[in-house]
């Protein structure tokens, strides 16, 4: 099992450009998540998908859109990138374990917006 | 609302010394608590979790944490630090919301281990 995979690993954008971050999991998990990690702020939830066909906003959704393409894939789109979106982005997938979602994380995408 | 606070953004210890990383939580319901580790340029890996069973929880790599309700704490310890323990550590609590649950992370503590 590859677990949770993310592409690309690194990306540099200019302000106003768009891009899509890809995430896939092969653990047959129902739920998937997108987080951003900034120094001194831990991980903050951008969007999540409880199951195929559903998506919901997290703590910091502004400037992002998501698509749950199928059970395996959950993509994050920046329509018009801004320097404030420079961050490390993590995708995670979750399995119900003892009444809560235990989450498994991908290796991250390091995005710089100039 | 659930939240966690990690005391100390940077901790430095000598190899072989005790590691103590502090986490305090706020929760209106009995919490589920987690510690994750992030090695340089990698994703997060679960170290251990508390889910209302035993209050002393043992995790991977010799780490353990004790849930203390009276102190609203879930501090992470390891008796003897190794150089390979150098990483960033995150405490997290489950937020139950609308029949669904999400992880709320602390700001993280970067552990340095020196010879």
Q: What is the pLDDT of residues B61-79, one digit of tens each?
A: 999 999 999 999 999 999 9
Backbone angles phi, psi at B85, to 5 degrees: -80, -10
Quote the pLDDT of residue B28: 75
A56, A49 contact by CB (below 8 A): yes
- Per-residue pLDDT tens over the stretch A59-95: 899 999 999 989 999 999 999 999 999 999 999 998 7
Nearest to B65 by CA among B99, B98, B91: B91
**Quick one: average pLDDT of A34-62?**
91
Q: Which two tokens stand for residue A112?
A: 């710089």
A4/B103 CB distance under 8 A: no
| Interface probe, candidates A5, A34, A43, chain B, greatest B C-beta count within 10 A | A43
3-state secondary structure of A84: helix
- Least confident window among A87-101, B13-27, B41-55, B82-96: A87-101
- A-chain CB neighbours of B108 within 8 Å are 40, 42
Distance of CA A28 to the CA centre of its chain: 17
Does the pLDDT at position B99 exceed 70? no
Element (H, E) at A21: strand A19-25
The terminus-to-terminus CA distance of chain B in angstroms comes to 41
Q: Which two tokens stand for residue B14?
A: 């000598």
A58/B108 CB distance under 8 A: no
- The alpha-carbon gap from A82 to the nearest alpha carbon of chain B, in Å, equals 23
Distance (Å, whole) CA A106 – CA A51: 18
More confident residue, B26 or B30: B26
**B99 contact A CB<8A:** no
Residues in chain A: 114
- A-chain CB neighbours of B103 within 8 Å are 43, 45, 101, 103
Residue A41: pLDDT band with limits 50, 70, 90: confident
**B44 contact A CB<8A:** yes
The residue of chain A nearest to residue B38, with distances taken between CA atoms, is A107
**A108 contact B CB<8A:** yes
B43/A44 CB distance under 8 A: no
- B-chain CB neighbours of A99 within 8 Å are 51
Burial A5-40 (b: 16+ CB within 10 A, else e): ebeeeebebeeeeeeebebbbeeebebbbbbbbeee
What long-range pairs does B84-88 form, CB within 8 A, spacing at least 24? B85/B19, B85/B61, B85/B111, B85/B113, B86/B111, B86/B112, B86/B113, B87/B37, B87/B38, B87/B39, B87/B40, B87/B111, B88/B37, B88/B38
Distance (Å, whole) CA A16 – CA A1: 37
Nearest to B21 by CA among B31, A75, B33, B29: B33
- For chain A, the average pLDDT equals 92
- For chain B, the average pLDDT equals 90
Does the pLDDT at position B100 exceed 70? no
Does the pLDDT at position A39 exceed 60? yes
A101, A27 contact by CB (below 8 A): no
B-facing residues of A in 25-44 (CB < 8 A) are 33, 40-44
Residue A101: pLDDT band with limits 50, 70, 90: confident
Option in A44, A50, A108 nearest B100 (CB): A50
A74, A23 contact by CB (below 8 A): yes
**A48 contact B CB<8A:** yes
Quote the pLDDT of residue A60: 94
CA-CA-CA-CA torsion sign (A46, A94, A30, B42) = positive
Quote the pLDDT of residue B53: 76
């Amino acid at each position: 099992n590859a677990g949770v995979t993310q592409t690309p690993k690194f990306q540099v954008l200019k302000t106003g450009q768009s891009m899509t971050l890809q995430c896939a999991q092969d653990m047959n998990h129902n739920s998937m998540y997108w987080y951003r990690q900034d120094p001194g702020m831990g991980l903050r939830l951008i969007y999540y998908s409880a199951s195929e066909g559903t998506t919901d906003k997290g703590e910091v959704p502004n400037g992002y859109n998501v698509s749950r393409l199928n059970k395996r894939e959950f993509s994050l789109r920046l329509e018009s990138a801004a320097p404030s979106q420079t961050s490390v982005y993590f995708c995670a997938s979750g399995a119900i374990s003892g009444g809560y979602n235990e989450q498994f994380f991908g290796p991250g995408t390091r995005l710089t917006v100039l | 609302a659930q939240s966690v606070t990690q005391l100390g953004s940077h901790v430095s210890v000598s190899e072989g010394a005790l590691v103590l990383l502090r986490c305090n939580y706020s929760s209106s319901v009995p919490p589920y608590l987690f510690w994750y580790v992030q090695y340089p340029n990698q994703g997060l890996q679960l170290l251990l979790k508390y889910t209302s069973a035993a209050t002393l929880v043992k995790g991977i790599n010799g780490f353990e944490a004790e849930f203390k309700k009276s102190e609203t704490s879930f501090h992470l310890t390891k008796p003897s630090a190794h150089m390979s323990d150098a990483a960033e550590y995150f405490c997290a609590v489950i937020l139950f919301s609308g029949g669904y649950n999400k992880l709320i992370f602390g700001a993280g503590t970067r552990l340095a281990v020196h010879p």
